[in-house]
Amino acid sequence: MREMKDSGVEWIGKIPREWDVIRNKNAFLCSKILVGDKSTHMQLLSLTTKGIRKKDIKNPVGKLPESFDTYQYVKKKNIVMCLFDLDCSAVFSGISPYDGMISPAYKVLECRNNMLARYADYWFRYISDKRTFNHYAKNIRYTLNYNEFADLPLLCISIETQHRIADYLDNKCGKIDAIIAHEQTVIEKLKAYKQSIITEAVTKGLNPHVKMKDSGIEWIGEIPENWNIIKMARIIDKTQNGLTRRDLTESKGQIVLKLKNITATGQIDFSDINRIKLSENEKLQYQLSDNDFLFVRVNGSKSLVGKCAIFQEKNEKIAFNDHIIRVKLTNKCQKKYIHWFLISEAGRRGIELLINTAAGQYTISGQGLREIKISFPPRNEQKCISKYLTNKIIKFESIITKKQSVIDKLTEYKKSLIYEVVTGKKEV
């Protein structure tokens, strides 16, 4: 067993006796060389959750500046750091496999002779996983300037040991990532199959021998002869936007749902909630009732607008904010069936046609929701379809949950492994 000593840094803990603690400035050089008028000949790069990736200027995803002249050079094996929004940013660092240019918002580091880029990449993954640098940031946006970053601690170990650690983690993490990728592929296939089952049931019914007719709606196709196509206006009683107050720092009061609480699968997720002290009038106006439909009203991503869930009453009173539209349906329909239709591929296609854009945001209005066209079977068939889908889909969800649990456990194991190896607690 190797002999250990106290590193003197709480979040590093004990390290091998032959290792030392230095500062980032002793291992990295930071240079910001602008590409200037050479930008037209440079490969645009982007820092992503999967590392540094090439970005196509001609077919961009997301916003791009009018000019790239203020972008900075990146060379192969440089480390790119995101030192702002440390509390919430999905990206923190990445080792570049390319020469190119990247946003001036990032810091580009070149390793000194005592630092191996591959080891540094794993070290910063550990820092990112635990958001270790958060408490060093003293401003609202959890940002570090370069001088603050340069003074933070880093482990000094031999280049030979760094190579051995990087090789070991490349091998182990590569195997873990392969398993995760396989499980994720299975999940995506299950989700796609699940969606096809939902869409088939709400547009074709459960009887494969029934006589069909043209619905007149391209994305719905043929429907059973005794079904109708109606607008949601026929079954909507009332629509209402939610509470405009935010008070996001408030930790007491009544739960007020936000758009993030509505999941892509049409559920309500209570794992991340806001509480606001509401007046009696606000409680009366925005308190949710059983079987209220909740739609995401506005977002910067079109794919999120129109997501919907059915609210089921809880032991405590719950309200909703103005990123959500509450829709109350009449008793002329089986509400669960309507929900199945709205989360189907056919329902999504119909919703997307009614989404508008304003000030860089995508929105849908209460009036827009009334214009959604749905396939509408007789009431008894709505009930049968709802029961069938509930029983069928719950099995898919169970399998997906188990697969996701495997991914989560492997992800946590990989994080723990990186921490133990890069800090010397596990000898390789």
pLDDT digits (tens, 9 = 90+) for 178-204: 999 999 999 999 999 999 999 999 999
Q: Which helix (H) or strand (E) holds 20?
A: strand 20-23
Residue 157 pLDDT more than 70?
yes
Rounded to two decimals, what is the model's pTM? 0.83
* CATH 3.40.50.720 for domain 4-157: no
Half-sphere exposure of 85 (CA within 13 A, CB side): 9
Residue 208, classed as helix, strand or coil, is coil
Complete DSSP assignment for 383-420: HHHHHHHHHHHHHHHHHHHHHHHHHHHHHHHHHHHHHH
Q: Output the CA–CA distances (angstroms, integers) from residue 78 to 89, 170, 231, in the order listed.
A: 20, 18, 56
Residue type, 345: E
Residue 63 pLDDT more than 80?
no
pLDDT digits (tens, 9 = 90+) for 4-57: 999 999 999 999 999 999 999 999 999 889 999 898 889 999 999 989 999 887
Domain 228-376: homologous superfamily in CATH: DNA methylase specificity domains (3.90.220.20)
CA distance 376 to 37: 60
Residue 248 pLDDT more than 60?
no
Q: Which helix (H) or strand (E) holds 162?
A: helix 159-204
Residue type, 360: G
Beta bridge partners of 243: 321
279, two tokens: 């007046």
Q: What are phi and psi of 361, to 5 degrees?
A: -115, 150
Q: What is the mean pLDDT of residues 351-378?
A: 94
pLDDT given for residue 228 in this prediction: 97
Same fold, 4-157 and 228-376: yes
Residue 409: CB partners within 8 Å, gap ≥ 6?
none
Q: Which helix (H) or strand (E) holds 131?
A: none
pLDDT digits (tens, 9 = 90+) for 265-309: 889 999 888 888 899 999 999 999 999 999 999 998 899 999 999
Task: Specify the DSSP class assigned to residue 37.
Answer: G
Complete DSSP assignment for 64-114: --S--TT-EEE-TTPEEE--SSTTT-S--EEE-SS-EEE-TTSEEEEE-TT
pLDDT digits (tens, 9 = 90+) for 161-171: 999 999 999 99
pLDDT given for residue 315 in this prediction: 83
Structural domain spans, the chain: 4-157, 228-376
